[in-house]
Amino acid sequence: MNRPNLIATMARRFGLTSKVLISERCYSPFTYNKETLSGRIKQWLLQKHYPLADAILPNSQGTAEALEKIYGIRSHYHVVRNPTDIAGIRQKASLPVDVAVDFSRFTFIYAATFRPEKNQRMLIEAVDALRDYPFQLLLIGKGELLQEMKALVAERKLADKIQFIDFTNNPYRYMQRSHCFVLPSLSEGFPNVLIESMALGLPIVSVDCKTGPRELLAPGTDLDTPIAETSFEKARYGILTADRSLPSLIAGMRWALENPADLQAYIPLENEKAPDFEIKKVVAEFSTIFDSYLKL
């Protein structure tokens, strides 16, 4: 939504008198690469025009802090999380799978587009390091790096550990039957897939990337809380591993494999947290904010 945001705020310079509320849906420092000319231009435009908005509605506190502290954008910030159809996800999860999978083994699962920022490579490397444990990983999705990741699995001789499943609009039926969701991303705007995992009571191991995982799994903690490179954090709603750290991801996944009872203890907590993101609740938050600015 970056271009519409810029167009709406630039319109202020040309006489637009309407209220302008914009919503940033990504971690801006990752999206706007300052090492490229295009990235530097986008950063300049962002810093020049975003302050003209009446308010900014990012979907994570990390994104709000980046805009304010890194780019110096002073504004009225209102963080509103992504809405999720909890009931719909649970209904879809009850449907049978259409690909044969042996769920009697401990099953990690990850569903995402195969793009560089999703970092499936590090996840495959973690599986390689843990190959002596009895488990499997399901990778669901499509994308530009799919064939490269399949080649890596073949190169590492991990065909008995990693199963690829084609893109489906109902990954929930596979998530429902798995034991743990694992997220290795380099960056997120706000990871809907973690909310969807919570809706299914699926325990989570996630890297503490920018932005969203810490806010979801360890709400109320400092966003810059450090995690040791070879360790992990047992957060309230899941396991957090150090950002971009293969040893930390391995440690978190190993803990999940070695402590299944402790991992399952997260299931009721996930179910407890999921309703915070129900569509009706989030829409009500947006409505309250819109009404407040319409009255000004």
Going by the DSSP 8-state scheme, the letter that residue 183 receives in this structure is E
Residue-level pLDDT at 296? 75
pLDDT(124) > 80: yes
CA–CA separation, 257 and 244 (whole Å) = 21
Helices marked H in 94-209: 120-129, 146-155, 172-177, 192-199
Confidence of residue 268 (pLDDT cuts 50, 70, 90): very high
Of the candidates 9, 51, 240, 210, which has an alpha carbon nearest to the alpha carbon of residue 117?
210
Question: How long a stretch of residues is the chain?
Answer: 296
Q: Which tens digit of pLDDT belongs to each residue from 218-260? A: 999 999 999 999 999 999 999 999 999 999 999 999 999 999 9
Do 151 and 114 form a contact (C-beta atoms < 8 A)? Answer: no
pLDDT(1) > 80: no
CA–CA separation, 101 and 152 (whole Å) = 21
CA–CA separation, 253 and 51 (whole Å) = 42
C-alpha 202, offset from chain centre? 15
Residue 29 or 133, more confident = 133
Residue-level pLDDT at 122? 98
